[in-house]
């Protein structure tokens, strides 16, 4: 068994995929060069997007993926679903998709995202038009909602988000939690920081996330954007390659 010095559980858009091309390449090269790092993508994206993404030359392949805002969990080269974590989420969601779409079909300021959903339903929202009553309605129906980047509204099974699913994965794999570093940039990453695992909010983080993590002293605020912020945090927490 490899002893992992770094278990990087990172958001994609704006975080792992953020920063300049040179900053991204530097992080990806450093991860590809080490055997003592475990990589987990934790994203609002679905597996199809990530399958395409890892075809890009130089892009590190994640060991595990938590996709669809914490509702999908997969492992390995072929993104094989992990029933030991995912089944509980499926049971909680049941076949709520149609019900959620029906419930929200006439609500102003939201538009369904063009993605096939399994254990969630996601919309684009207009901050000027979205009504608080819409969110109340979602809660009353027994679901969680999540707003992020002033753009995305996710309807999720109650209690499910990126952070709780990551904790379940860490527990399932018996990973040393003090070696985990979470990274994010928007409010849908807040639940990652609420785990109290070591964290980095990258330099381009949205102001609402920065406000929400006020007082979280286990989260490092990097001045550097995206991938450069992650590389900075790896040094900050002394999780860089041995002898580096
Ligand atoms: Mg992001």
Whether 175 and 144 share a structural domain:
no
Q: How far apart are CA 232 and CA 221, in angstroms?
A: 10
Whether 173 and 79 share a structural domain:
yes
Q: What is the 10 CA–ligand 1 centroid distance (Å)? A: 9
- Residue 183 counted as domain residue: yes
Q: What is the 46 CA–ligand 1 centroid distance (Å)? A: 14
- Residue 147 counted as domain residue: yes
In three-state secondary structure terms, 71 is coil
Q: What is the 15 CA–ligand 1 centroid distance (Å)? A: 6
| Owner of token pair 């934790």 | 42
Q: What is the 130 CA–ligand 1 centroid distance (Å)? A: 21
Q: What is the 61 CA–ligand 1 centroid distance (Å)? A: 18
Contacts 24+ apart (CB under 8 A), 60-63: 60/28, 60/31, 60/32, 63/38, 63/39
For 209-228, the pLDDT digits (tens) are 999 999 999 999 999 999 99
For 1-51, the pLDDT digits (tens) are 568 999 999 999 999 999 999 999 999 999 999 999 999 999 999 999 999
Whether 171 and 85 share a structural domain:
yes
Q: What is the mean pLDDT of residues 53-66?
A: 97
**Mean of per-residue pLDDT scores for the chain:** 95
Q: What is the 134 CA–ligand 1 centroid distance (Å)? A: 24
- Residue 225 counted as domain residue: yes
Whether 100 and 215 share a structural domain:
no
Q: What is the mean pLDDT of residues 166-182?
A: 97
Whether 139 and 224 share a structural domain:
no
Nearest to 225 by CA among 42, 53, 58, 23: 23
φ, ψ at 19 (rounded to 5°): 90, 180
- Residue 242 counted as domain residue: no
| Owner of token pair 């309605």 | 137
Q: What is the 44 CA–ligand 1 centroid distance (Å)? A: 8
Q: What is the 19 CA–ligand 1 centroid distance (Å)? A: 12
Domain boundary among 157, 187, 204: 157
Whether 37 and 122 share a structural domain:
no
- Give the chain's domain count: 2
- Residue 171 counted as domain residue: yes
- Residue 189 counted as domain residue: yes
Q: What is the 43 CA–ligand 1 centroid distance (Å)? A: 7
> Within 13 Å of residue 123, how many CA atoms lie on the same side as its CB?
25
For 101-152, the pLDDT digits (tens) are 999 999 999 999 988 788 999 999 999 999 999 999 999 999 999 999 999 9
pLDDT of 99 above 50: yes
- Residue 244 counted as domain residue: no
Q: What is the 77 CA–ligand 1 centroid distance (Å)? A: 23
Q: What is the 185 CA–ligand 1 centroid distance (Å)? A: 5
Whether 72 and 165 share a structural domain:
yes
Q: What is the mean pLDDT of residues 74-79?
A: 96
Q: Which structural domain, as residue segments, surrounds residue 197? A: 6-89+160-236
- Residue 12 counted as domain residue: yes
pLDDT of 244 above 50: no
pTM reported for the whole predicted model: 0.94
Provide the pLDDT for residue 116: 79
Q: What is the 13 CA–ligand 1 centroid distance (Å)? A: 4
Q: What is the 42 CA–ligand 1 centroid distance (Å)? A: 9
Whether 164 and 85 share a structural domain:
yes
Whether 112 and 124 share a structural domain:
yes
> At 209, which CATH number?
3.40.50.1000
Nearest to 144 by CA among 86, 191, 98: 191
Q: How far apart are CA 146 and CA 233, in angstroms?
A: 26
Q: What is the 184 CA–ligand 1 centroid distance (Å)? A: 6
> At 124, which CATH number?
3.90.1070.10
Q: What is the 96 CA–ligand 1 centroid distance (Å)? A: 26
Domain boundary among 141, 157, 173: 157
Q: What is the 1 CA–ligand 1 centroid distance (Å)? A: 32
pLDDT of 243 above 80: no
Whether 175 and 56 share a structural domain:
yes
Whether 212 and 186 share a structural domain:
yes
């Amino acid at each position: 068994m490899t002893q992992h010095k770094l278990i990087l559980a990172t958001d994609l858009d704006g975080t792992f995929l953020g920063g300049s091309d040179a900053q991204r390449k530097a992080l990806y090269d450093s991860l590809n060069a080490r055997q003592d790092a475990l990589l987990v993508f934790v994203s609002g994206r679905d597996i199809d997007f990530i399958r395409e993404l890892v075809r890009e030359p130089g892009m590190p392949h994640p060991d595990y993926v938590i996709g669809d805002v914490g509702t999908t969990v997969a492992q390995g080269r072929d993104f094989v679903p992990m029933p030991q974590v995912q089944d509980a989420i499926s049971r909680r969601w049941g076949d709520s998709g149609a019900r959620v779409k029906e419930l929200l079909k006439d609500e102003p300021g939201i538009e369904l995202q063009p993605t096939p959903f399994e254990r969630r339903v996601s919309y684009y929202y207009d901050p000027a038009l979205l009504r608080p009553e819409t969110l109340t309605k979602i809660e009353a129906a027994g679901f969680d909602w999540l707003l992020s980047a002033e753009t995305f509204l996710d309807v999720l099974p109650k209690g499910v988000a990126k952070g709780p699913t990551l904790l379940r994965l860490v527990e399932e794999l018996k990973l040393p939690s003090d070696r985990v570093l979470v990274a994010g940039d928007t409010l849908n990453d807040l639940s990652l920081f609420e785990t109290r695992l070591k964290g980095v909010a990258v330099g381009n983080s949205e102001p609402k996330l920065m406000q929400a993590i006020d007082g979280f002293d286990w989260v490092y605020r990097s001045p550097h954007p995206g991938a450069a912020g992650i590389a900075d945090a790896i040094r900050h927490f002394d999780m860089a390659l041995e002898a580096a």
